[in-house]
Amino acid sequence: MEESSTRKIYDWQSVVYDYTFGALVRKRIARAITHMNIQDGQTVLDVGIGTGGSMLAYPKHARVMGVDLSSGMLREARKKIEEENLQNITVFQGNALELPFEDSSFDHLFISHVISVVSQPELLIREAQRVAKEGAKIVILNHFLSTNRFVAMLEKWANPLCQKVGWRSDLALADIVAKTQIEIDYRYKIRSVDLWETVVTTNTKSALALA
Ligand SMILES: C[S@@+](CC[C@H](N)C(=O)[O-])C[C@H]1O[C@@H](n2cnc3c(N)ncnc32)[C@H](O)[C@@H]1O
């Protein structure tokens, strides 16, 4: 996956996203956001916010910024901000691999269905660790390569097709953890057999130094 082709794929998908993949994952997103336990006035960066399907799930007391590569996806997010009068949320176009923020800028980060879309997943996590404060929750919601060998074989086989629609199906969580030293508090699936998993982590700046 390269950012230039990804941008085009999601510009194109923006028109149908909320009725397709977006509808499928909305409840999971809302549940995952509760695991940040956002306190009054805290700041959240929603990385790859897309059409903003997450926005209604944030408490009104949260100050949320969303970044995304695709102007098409952001157009849909801005429509929702206006229609729902979400004054606590702003979105802007940018690359999650080069976040335009100083170190330790955010209380929490939400990374929903993006880590398997960017060209360098470990760089995305390092950027998240950098801009998150010490002790921040970084919540990652995504599909990861199965630990079941047969399922993993199918996922690897399907990968070229998945890449054509904008994500890769062969990303292993263990590789990300090994490369970024990210500390997992806990992880869960909402069903015993589920393609998607929520991974709740606590940011430690020492992990950034070790990686
Ligand atoms: C599958 S969508 C997920 C959208 C939303 N977070 C959700 O869970 O429904 C992936 C999003 O990541 C964005 N994206 C991909 N690479 C990115 C990057 N390098 N920087 C910022 N956004 C990126 C895409 O434009 C797209 O909107």
pLDDT band at 167 (very low <50, low <70, confident <90, very high): confident
Number of domains, the chain = 1
List, for residues 108-129, the tens digit of each pLDDT value. 999 999 999 999 999 999 999 9
> How far is ligand 1, taken at its centre, from the CA of residue 193, in Å?
25
Q: Is 53 in the pocket of ligand 1 (CB under 6 A)?
A: yes
Q: Is the pLDDT of residue 211 over 70?
A: no
Residue 191 lies in a domain: yes
Give the mean pLDDT of 1-26: 92
pLDDT more than 90, % of the chain: 85
Instruction: Look at residue 164 and tell me if it is in a domain.
Output: no
According to DSSP, the residues that pair with 43 across neighbouring strands are 63
Structural domain contains residue 153:
no
Could you tell me which residues come within 8 angstroms of residue 77 by beta carbon, excluding any fewer than 6 positions away?
49, 50, 51, 52, 55, 66, 68, 91
Rounded distance, CA 79 to CA 75, Å? 6
Q: Is 96 in the pocket of ligand 1 (CB under 6 A)?
A: yes
| CATH number for the domain that contains residue 139 | 3.40.50.150
Range of the domain at 182: 3-144+171-210
Closest ligand 1 atom number to CA of residue 167: 1
pTM of the model: 0.95
